[in-house]
Structure 1
Amino acid sequence: MTEQAVGRLAGRAVGDAGPDAAPAPEPAASPEQVIRNVLADLPRHRGVVVDSPPGAGKSTLVVRAAAHIAETGEPLMIVAQTNEQVDDLVSRLCERHPQLTVGRLSASGYVAPRRMLELPGVTVGTRVQDLGDPDIVIATADKWAWIAGRTWPWAIVDEAYQMRSDKLLRIAALFDRALFVGDPGQLDPFSIVDGDRWSGLSWDPLQSAVSVLLRHNPDLPVHRLPVSWRLPASAAPVVSRAFYPFTGFRSGTGPGERRLELATGGMGTVHDRALEEAARSGWALLELPNRHSVRTDGEAVQAVALLAERLLQRGAVAGSEQGERPVTADRIAVGAAHRDQVAAIRNAGLPPEITVDTANRLQGREYDVTIVLHPLSGRRDATAFHLESGRLCVLASRHRHACVVVARAGIAELLDAHPSAEPVQLGVPVKFPDGWEANQSVLDHLAAHRV
């Protein structure tokens, strides 16, 4: 794929694969058949796109495709978006295919974790020349942008919807054919630069790499993984309906195959009742009194912290197709929209093993139970940031068993008072799902689980 080829890029809205893109498979399609179709398409096209719902096995597909390409004897480069994603892919590749040699390309300030140094067949270096001639070279998109003078016949771009199109353009000359794997329902690529000046342009650099790629290459095949192995049967229909209205998916498990049990009895508090509702149904909404609040709402922060503490105190046990295991602190995550909210929750005295972070940093991660501070809780307005569908999608799709949402009452009225009315810009495809509708859909479901 040459730089000139990728130069014919522009933005695609989520849910709009272009007029000539491959039709979406029915949710009942076999995941194995989809993967076989992807592997069969790799040598036929300059690029192949795979859309994946939360927990559908993106990393598994990347590892399998990497091994498939390596078997041909041709070298492969893999592009990820963060160092954590790169390290995870290296570990997965070595665990499942120990015969492969892997080069981990890094920046000069990168400190390899111990697990990386203990993996056989892995070489870490700051220059391609330092790696020898491995089967696979893996690095972040930012690191690949500094590589010149060599090309690879194959590339795999992981979390491609998190990658800005300008980053793809910078590395496009490094490879001939590529597989792009990502989740179209997650957060858009992050940038601190105001992108209004580029809105409507076919090469808008702030759009995702996949969006721009498909706008100018509508003939490229688009495959969709139809099953989420993370989300339980109680969550997959909710997330699918709210955030993937045109590319639905199903859960890999059926009703009753996942269960969450609380080993000790509760004391009848709202926090205990919320946890009991979540254990029973997979969802709970702990609703606080309707009130406008500052962003670091002290009452909401305290409620979130108490829920996490009580979950540990009551000895939650998660049962699934993987067997039974206690829900330890490292299997619990707390999500919020803003970094100052995250800091306030961390300072509430939670065990350090509990993950507390923003939606941007929780993206791609998985836990048994998640506790979410709703982005619109206590707000006077509903801005584009807080209505962004990808933010709520990430927060509501990290769990294997249950999700508890903490929010002040009045969000429905807030949404009604701030209908979706973003400025219409020429040349910018309409994005689906609409954040206003996605929030309403999730709120309608949570209303049946209100405590």
Structure 2
Amino acid sequence: MTTDNRIDFDPAGQAAAVTNAILADLTSTAHRAVVVDSPPGAGKSTLVVRAAGDLAAGGERPMIVAQTNNQVDDLITRLGQAHPDIAIGRLSANDYTASPAIDSTCTVRQKLTDLAACKIIVGTSAKWATVTDSRFGWAILDEAYQMRSDKLLQIVERFERGLFVGDPGQLDPFTVADTDRWIGLPHDPTQNGVAVMLEHNRNTPLHELPVSWRLPASAAPTIREAFYPRSNFTSGTPEGTRSLQFRTTGFGAVELDETLAMAAATGWALHELPRRHVPRTDTETVQITADLAARLLDRGAVAFCERHPDGRELHASDIAIGVAHRDQADLVRLALARTNNPAARQIAVDNANKLQGREFEVVIVLHPLSGRRDATSFHLEAGRLCVLTSRHRQACIVVARKGITDLLDSHPSTEPVHLSVPAKFPDGWQSNQAIMAKLAKHCPTA
């Protein structure tokens, strides 16, 4: 397997070669679709923006499909920066209010006919599903693995050929409806759009972006082993390029500082609390999670990297806290407000669904299995843990009560086996074991 510190390390060259092959497939008429798998931080949005520009320059008028309004706004910002000479349209719902930055970058309208002058049109899959009277030569589907197949079916008549770009290792499409009635059926609407499209178009070209520009060399091999075992992506930066230092010496919070020192030295840290079965709103775990984040700010953490070789002091916007449940996020925000650092209130706190696609310098994770008596399918889900542990550029700190490995070892598989449903690989049990094996080597209190 490829390593991240090899002598012929040329991530930019590898990424450029794959990107050129993808763009070449866009000019070919041999296939109706192209699929691009993107590991965390591999430049998925950059590819979408470049492909849209190339298609527009070639006389096409591509439609871009994203899954949320935030994703649409992010793409429009990137498109405006990369292609200031191309007219961009945003197809929006009636209740959408554009920010001044978006309003100045593109034309925002509720009807497709009002965007006739635009060469690239971006909208959510839900909004595109309301369009019934137009057809495009190309569609670019961003976060395609997070798009349910029923959503794809609603818009597939709107385009002739599609570029499907997404991360196969993260959260599956979400629905609040009971889905048991459809599992294993060929028309299961809860399958992701890419899986269904590939099932019916088996000769579709499949590419993989080979470099994660987000994950440091300390993290890429671990994330690859835990969540992408069939992949071979590498970190875009060699060992030693990124590091964390502190402007002040630790005093008065020994355990917190030992954890931060471990994270700064190795890129990973596990802060373990005593073994105990607790509710998911465990106040002790929540407060420790908040205290670690505030301590990063108190100590004046400075990040060194390829972007800032002379170092840059971290701000609250550079730090995120990831949890499994929304009520945990609410409690962490309250705990941050109780710390002595007012800036800590600006730290991003959210569940995996909301953090997906975002990037930070340091991420602190409240482990989904911490303090639990059981390991449910929700808390074991590989995609959830993948999102939480792959948002960082410098370090990931995991907070948990002792006993997770024992819980995994004693957890019997109680999930029903369904015919015609491929087994997930790796499954959540394997992914959690791989991450805990890594973290066991980075626990200062072990």
Sort the TM-score into its range (normalised by shorter chain): over 0.9
Whole-angstrom CA distance in 2 between matches of 1:219 and 1:194 = 33
Letter in 1 for 2:320: A
Please say if residues 145 and 171 of structure 1, whose CA atoms lie closer than 8 Å, have aligned partners that are also in contact.
yes
- DSSP-derived class of the 1:349 partner: helix
Do residues 56 (structure 1) and 42 (structure 2) align? yes
Do residues 274 (structure 1) and 259 (structure 2) align? yes
Q: Which residue of 2 aligns with 1:154?
A: 138
Do residues 357 (structure 1) and 350 (structure 2) align? yes
Across the two proteins, how many residue pairs are aligned to each other?
423
Which of 232, 238, 246 is 2:216 aligned to?
232
Which of 260, 275, 278 is 1:290 aligned to?
275
Whole-angstrom CA distance in 2 between matches of 1:238 and 1:373 = 18
TM norm structure 1: 0.92
**Post-superposition shift, 1:274?**
0.5
What is the CA RMSD across the aligned residues, in angstroms? 1.2
Q: Which residue of 2 aligns with 1:193?
A: 177
Q: Which residue of 1 aligns with 2:314?
A: 327
Q: Which residue of 2 aligns with 1:5?
A: none
Do residues 183 (structure 1) and 170 (structure 2) align? no
Cα-to-partner distance string for 1:141-185 (whole Å, 9 max, x where unaligned): 000000111100010000001110100000000000000000000
**Post-superposition shift, 1:378?**
0.3
Whole-angstrom CA distance in 2 between matches of 1:248 and 1:206 = 28
Do residues 128 (structure 1) and 112 (structure 2) align? yes
Letter in 1 for 2:214: R
**Post-superposition shift, 1:234?**
0.2
Do residues 103 (structure 1) and 96 (structure 2) align? no
Q: Unpaired runs of 5+ in structure 2?
A: 1-10, 338-343
- DSSP-derived class of the 1:147 partner: coil
Q: Which residue of 1 aligns with 2:70?
A: 84
- DSSP-derived class of the 1:433 partner: coil
- DSSP-derived class of the 1:211 partner: helix
Correspondences of 1:49-448 after superposition (within 5 Å): 49-119=35-105, 122-267=106-251, 269-323=254-308, 324-350=311-337, 351-448=344-441
Please say if residues 315 and 327 of structure 1, whose CA atoms lie closer than 8 Å, have aligned partners that are also in contact.
yes
Letter in 2 for 1:87: D
Q: Unpaired runs of 5+ in structure 1?
A: 1-26
Whole-angstrom CA distance in 2 between matches of 1:313 and 1:107 = 43
TM norm structure 2: 0.93
Please say if residues 368 and 402 of structure 1, whose CA atoms lie closer than 8 Å, have aligned partners that are also in contact.
yes
Whole-angstrom CA distance in 1 between matches of 2:193 and 2:12 = 28
Whole-angstrom CA distance in 1 between matches of 2:218 and 2:86 = 39
Please say if residues 145 and 170 of structure 1, whose CA atoms lie closer than 8 Å, have aligned partners that are also in contact.
yes
Comparing 353-362 with 199-208, greater Cα deviation is found at 199-208
Whole-angstrom CA distance in 2 between matches of 1:420 and 1:214 = 29
Cα-to-partner distance string for 1:361-407 (whole Å, 9 max, x where unaligned): 10000000000000000000000000000000000000000010000
Do residues 33 (structure 1) and 26 (structure 2) align? no
Whole-angstrom CA distance in 1 between matches of 2:426 and 2:275 = 27
- DSSP-derived class of the 1:352 partner: helix
Question: Which structure carries more relative contact order (alpha carbon 8 Å, separation 6+)?
Answer: 1
Please say if residues 294 and 336 of structure 2, whose CA atoms lie closer than 8 Å, have aligned partners that are also in contact.
no
Please say if residues 29 and 226 of structure 1, whose CA atoms lie closer than 8 Å, have aligned partners that are also in contact.
no
Whole-angstrom CA distance in 1 between matches of 2:414 and 2:392 = 32
Letter in 1 for 2:71: Q
Comparing 400-409 with 201-210, greater Cα deviation is found at 201-210
